[in-house]
Amino acid sequence: MEKLRLAMIGLGVVGSGLLRLLDEKRAVLESDYGLTYDVVAVCDKMRGSIYDPEGLDLETVLTEGPLSDKLKGTRDLTSFEVIDLPDVDVVFEATPTNLKTGGVGLEHARRALSAGKHFISTNKAPPAIAYKELESIARENEVYYGYEGTILSGTPAISLALNGLPASRFFSIRGILNGTTNFMLERMETEGMEFDDALALAQEKGYAESDPSSDIDGWDACAKLVIMANNILKEPITPEDVDMQGIRGVTLEDVKEARKEGKRIKSVSSLVFDNGRLKARVGPEKIDRTDPLYHVHDVTNALVFETDTTDTVTVMGPGAGGRSAGYAMLYDLVEMHRHRTRLYK
């Protein structure tokens, strides 16, 4: 097959992580999968943009930025102009998530898929808010829409469920889907911290934003549940269908009381079928040590799949980080390449 031409929108931690992997893994991707490519465009709201149809030197982009004098090409393109470039085959996108409106990430997804470009993103908002619409556009244009990294970053989630558990009927999916809240609750349990002190520590370490509401009020986990319900379970739910409770109301006394009972308080996200009806919930729960989620520590994420074929399968790993999230996008690129001759047929 012809060499793919790739564009990257968003050059923060995640976008940089992907470019580093694309640079490192070029030889193995060609030898093992026959996948060859050039990154021809990079665009970042703060760091600028560069387009060179001959391909960019990724080491220079990573160390000196898109505006380096060592790079030749067209500069100052907007993200939408990058998407519209006629020789771009695949658009990678790693912009901030806006779960209220979908933000620019949703507009990027619509623009790229409608233009017949494969679109791979770690932005949770588009598939959480407009799953049916975007999948329809992708099918209509016979292109790949990949968002593996929206659930557990580089730890397999969607791919495990769809490819690793074929012919399985899912009874439930439960998990720790937000590392920030897991870190905070564990600090309260093991170090006796009050809620506000645990939050301040999470912010100091970079686990929580200055506005932590997406994490501690449950919105981040809610979006991930909606994506899994739609993609894995084929249940067309929206964020409004999720019974969502944050952890603001969890006190140090609550945590101590749970510990006396031999339990831990965790923010558990769940999709459970009850008499054929799907119930989606995010919120704090007391769980005991027989539950796999009891043993999930710090900012680690985990999922427990309960099926009719394997009983339970648990996957655990980092739920954030530039290299991890970048790897999720690399996975989607390989998946797209392996199946692009028969996408949505």
Q: Helical H runs in 25-124?
A: 26-33, 58-64, 79-84, 103-114
> Average pLDDT in the 223-236 region?
98
The residue whose two tokens read 């992907």 is 18
Strand, helix or coil at 212?
Answer: coil
First to last CA, the chain: 19
Q: Which residues contact 342 (CB under 8 A, 6 or more apart)?
A: none
What is the set of active-site residues? 224
Mean pLDDT score of the chain, rounded to an integer? Answer: 95
| Per-residue confidence (pLDDT) for residue 105, from 0 to 100 | 98
Task: Label the pairing between strands 170-176 and 263-274.
Answer: antiparallel
Asked if pLDDT for residue 321 goes beyond 90, the answer is no
Query: What letter represents residue 96's amino acid?
Result: P
Asked if pLDDT for residue 343 goes beyond 80, the answer is no
Given a contact cutoff of 8 angstroms between Cβ atoms, the answer to whether 109 and 98 are in contact is: no
Given a contact cutoff of 8 angstroms between Cβ atoms, the answer to whether 145 and 119 are in contact is: yes
Strand, helix or coil at 220?
Answer: helix
Asked if pLDDT for residue 70 goes beyond 60, the answer is yes
C-alpha 8/C-alpha 325 separation (Å) is 14
The residue whose two tokens read 């490192």 is 24
CATH numbers and ranges of domains, the chain: 4-154+323-342 (3.40.50.720), 159-318 (3.30.360.10)
Asked if pLDDT for residue 341 goes beyond 80, the answer is no
Asked if pLDDT for residue 345 goes beyond 50, the answer is no
| Per-residue confidence (pLDDT) for residue 319, from 0 to 100 | 83
Write the CA distances from 26 to 30, 32, 34, 36, 62, integer angstroms: 6, 10, 10, 7, 16
Asked if pLDDT for residue 275 goes beyond 60, the answer is yes
Asked if pLDDT for residue 309 goes beyond 70, the answer is yes
Give per-residue pLDDT as tens, 239-271. Answer: 999 999 999 999 999 999 999 999 999 999 999
Q: Helical H runs in the chain?
A: 13-24, 26-33, 58-64, 79-84, 103-114, 125-141, 149-152, 158-159, 179-191, 195-204, 213-216, 219-231, 252-260, 322-339
Give per-residue pLDDT as tens, 140-197. Answer: 999 999 999 999 999 999 999 999 999 999 999 999 999 999 999 999 999 999 999 9
Per 3-state DSSP, what percentage of the chain is helix, strand, and coil (rounded to 5)?
45, 25, 35
Sheet with 242-244, edge to edge strand ranges: 242-244, 277-288, 263-274, 170-176, 300-307, 311-318
Give per-residue pLDDT as tens, 9-33. Answer: 999 999 999 999 999 999 999 999 9
Q: Which band of pLDDT confidence, cut at 50, 70 and 90, is reported for residue 211?
A: very high
Asked if pLDDT for residue 340 goes beyond 80, the answer is no
> Average pLDDT in the 274-289 region?
97
| Per-residue confidence (pLDDT) for residue 1, from 0 to 100 | 64
Asked if pLDDT for residue 74 goes beyond 80, the answer is yes
C-alpha 229/C-alpha 320 separation (Å) is 21
Asked if pLDDT for residue 131 goes beyond 80, the answer is yes
C-alpha 190/C-alpha 284 separation (Å) is 17
